[in-house]
Structure 1
Amino acid sequence: MSDSQSGSRVAIVDDMTIYNASAQKQQLLDALAVHDEIEIDLSAVAEIDTAGIQLLILVKREASRLGKRAVLVAHSAAVREVVDFFNLAANFGDPMLIPAREG
């Protein structure tokens, strides 16, 4: 996690699955408690299930409730696929940049 005075970048380095949800929830809510804005870096997420999606929704809603911001950044291919499958891009409100194809 990298910090500045008003914001923090939290890199999720494990899969966002039911097996990691509890620890990740605590990590994200702790960052939100200390900072007015957090960026959640999803670039290293290789797998995400419904527990991971629920966690992202929870953090976004909690940030809004507290008058703070939680921004999802650097969406991995796995995250983009699940967000697209559940048609949640508009719900999150964060731009999802799709990298150019190599080759």
Structure 2
Amino acid sequence: MNEFEVRLEGRRRLQIAGPMTLSTAPDWRQRLQAATDAAGDMEVDLSGVSAIDASAIQSLVCLRQRARDSARRLRLLAPSTCVHEALDFCHLSEFFEIPRASRP
């Protein structure tokens, strides 16, 4: 998928497709912020992410910390291969809650 897309399903599940890079950051950061502001636990489906860079990793870390600080859960669902590799490279795979069925 060449286009960047973010879908907020209900109020707690966010699906991101396309590149999560500095060039698309204004779009997905705004949507992540809106999802963070919603009540309850949150799930972020990353199965459609085609590229990820340090700015996106930093935003996910901040999102995880904000969720933890407000006693909520953040789950990363079905991270694409590039997301999984980036999290492994940064030694962050265990920092995030990624359901076993969602791991490659």
TM tier, smaller: 0.7 to 0.9
Between the aligned partners of 2:30 and 2:72, the Cα distance in structure 1 is: 17
What is aligned with 2:74?
Answer: 70
CA RMSD of aligned residues (A): 1.5
Between the aligned partners of 1:22 and 1:38, the Cα distance in structure 2 is: 20
What is aligned with 2:5?
Answer: none
Percent pairwise identity: 32
What is aligned with 2:4?
Answer: none
- Aligned residues, how many? 95
Between the aligned partners of 1:54 and 1:21, the Cα distance in structure 2 is: 11
Instruction: Select the structure of larger CA radius of gyration.
Output: 1
Whichever structure has more strand as a proportion of its residues is 2
CA contact (8 A) 1:17 1:47 kept: yes
More displaced stretch, 67-76 vs 36-45: 67-76
Out of 2, 21, 25, which is 2:9 matched to? 2
* Structure 1 residue runs without a partner (length 5+): 99-103
CA contact (8 A) 2:74 2:97 kept: no
* Structure 2 residue runs without a partner (length 5+): 1-7
Equivalent position amino acid for 1:49 in 2: D
Q: Secondary structure at the match of 1:61?
A: helix
TM-score by length of 2: 0.82
Could you list the structure 1 runs, at least 4 aligned residues long, displaced by more than 2 angstroms after superposition.
93-96
1:1-103 equivalent positions in 2, closer than 5 A: 1-3=8-10, 8-95=12-99, 96-98=102-104
